[in-house]
Amino acid sequence: MSIQFLGACGEVTGSCYYLEEAGVKFLVDCGVFQGSHEAFEKNRSGWPFNPADLDFVLLTHAHYDHCGRLPKLYKDGFRGHIYTTPQTAELANLVLSDAADIMFHDAKKYQETPLYTLNDVKALNSLYRSVQYKTSTRLGNAISTTFYDAGHILGSAIVEVKIDDKKIVFSGDLGNYPVPLMNPPTKLEEADVLVMESTYGDRMHEHVDRQAALRDVIIKIVKNKGTLLIPAFALERTQEILYHLNDLREKNEIPDVPIYLDSPMAIEATAIFRRNEQLFDTETQAHIKAGDDVFNFPHLKYCTTIEESKSINFAAPPKVIIAGSGMLNGGRILHHLAHYGHLKNTVICFVGYQVAGTLGRKIMDGEHSIQLFHEPFELMAEGVTISAFSAHMDKSQLLDWVKNYQKLGKIIITHGEDESRDSLVTEIKKIKPNSNIVEPKFMQTESL
């Protein structure tokens, strides 16, 4: 049995693992690379296998860096099943449709061939096969899979694969906890091989009350009559922020400042969240049963049309604008940055991981002379990061999750920049001193 690492090695994007055993060939995840021109070229490169020969794909969750190349896989010949939770299938269709639309317009603007089309995305819908948490699914004569709640976003999963008598566990992205909406990630006890993420393997999240930190930023904006820009991921992060804002409103801890959710994709994702409240944590479910609409409150406006988005500019500050994309690499947030980024009383609040090379990472690292819409732009806005909003486990949580394993063979560390991977490996060796730990390079193949 072998596994080849086709992404997320020394970086946090492009998750894609190719496994082959006794004639069965399959992928775990098939995400896009993000953050640089090199990433652009990787997305367009060929596959080290024939997509038509793949038997199936196991999809951990609907974030673009885990599902974003599935339509290209289809375009290049894949016709097998995609096993995932029903929530991930629905959210992935939303994410991929949005990406295809952006590619279509970029292709016309920059005269380039899109990676895939909306027709490729639609074709995937016939390939999805639903997997429920904690339920074994047969994939072949000697292969089965079980999905467990990863607590990262709605429908996200830790994927366990059994091949004959060997158990391989793919962590996917493991959620930070405790957080509103999401349950804590499932802790497992046995794995012959563990393929594990390490996004925050070298650091701890700040030990602050994320809701209080958000409150303080809003109060500051109101006091300075400024604008708060929150570049937020459409899946989970936006819904979590809405939850906190709703709670702050009900407790009268923030003024009646206008709040705009300016993201059609986030609005659609919120509707999907509403339809799956049975997966929320018990506290959130209790709020909903008591009649609390956790995603809506006074002075919140959902903006779907371009006209509604533009109208935000005519509203006098102070105001709060939540928009995508989460790393400032596209979307409506860039237009708001162009409109308000030159003002000193504007605050950009980062609430998620910023990939190296993205505009979000550059601003978070303190750059002021940036490129915006391919033009020089001098940024005067203040950048603030609330890392407690991260949807990934931090170093301590990752170690605690590994420590729970009573039987553990080879550990393969992926989905992290090299500094994060190295640091996590050093710490794991202290609690699992006899483990064989591997940090694979891009395109490396390992025997299992």
Q: How far apart are CA 396 and CA 139, in angstroms?
A: 35
In degrees and rounded to multiples of 5, residue 154 shows phi and psi of -55, 125
Q: What is the pLDDT, as a whole number, of residue 111?
A: 85
Q: Under a CB-based contact definition with an 8 Å cutoff, are residues 12 and 416 in contact?
A: yes
* List of the chain residues with pLDDT < 70: none
Domain ranges of the chain: 2-203+391-447, 210-389
Task: Name the 3-class secondary structure at 303.
Answer: coil
Q: What are 292's two structure tokens?
A: 């609390």
Q: How far apart are CA 311 and CA 226, in angstroms?
A: 17
CATH fold, domain 2-203+391-447, is: Metallo-beta-lactamase; Chain A (3.60.15)
Q: Under a CB-based contact definition with an 8 Å cutoff, are residues 424 and 194 in contact?
A: no
User: Strands 17-21 and 24-28, how do they pair?
Assistant: antiparallel
Q: What is the pLDDT, as a whole number, of residue 36?
A: 84
Of the candidates 392, 384, 339, the residue with the CA atom closest to the CA atom of residue 364? 384
Q: What is the pLDDT, as a whole number, of residue 162?
A: 97
Q: How far apart are CA 32 and CA 98, in angstroms?
A: 14
Q: Under a CB-based contact definition with an 8 Å cutoff, are residues 444 and 2 in contact?
A: no
Q: Under a CB-based contact definition with an 8 Å cutoff, are residues 59 and 67 in contact?
A: yes
Strand order through the sheet with 17-21: 128-130, 81-84, 56-58, 24-28, 17-21, 2-5, 445-447
Half-sphere exposure of 419 (CA within 13 A, CB side): 4
Q: What is the pLDDT, as a whole number, of residue 145?
A: 98
Domain 2-203+391-447 and domain 210-389, same fold? Reply is no
- H or E element in which residue 64 lies: helix 64-67
CATH fold, domain 210-389, is: Rossmann fold (3.40.50)
Asked, as a colleague might, if the bond just before 317 is cis with ω within 30 of 0, I would say no
Going from the C-alpha of 326 to that of each of 116, 232, 368, 408, 413, the distances in angstroms are 22, 4, 19, 35, 25
Query: Which residues are CB-contacts of 400 (< 8 A; sequence separation ≥ 6)?
Result: none
Q: What is the pLDDT, as a whole number, of residue 319?
A: 98
Q: What is the pLDDT, as a whole number, of residue 107?
A: 85
Q: How far apart are CA 56 and CA 185, in angstroms?
A: 25
Through-space distance between the first and last CA atoms of the chain, rounded to whole angstroms: 5
Q: How far apart are CA 303 and CA 327, in angstroms?
A: 20
Q: Is the pTM of this model over 0.85?
A: yes
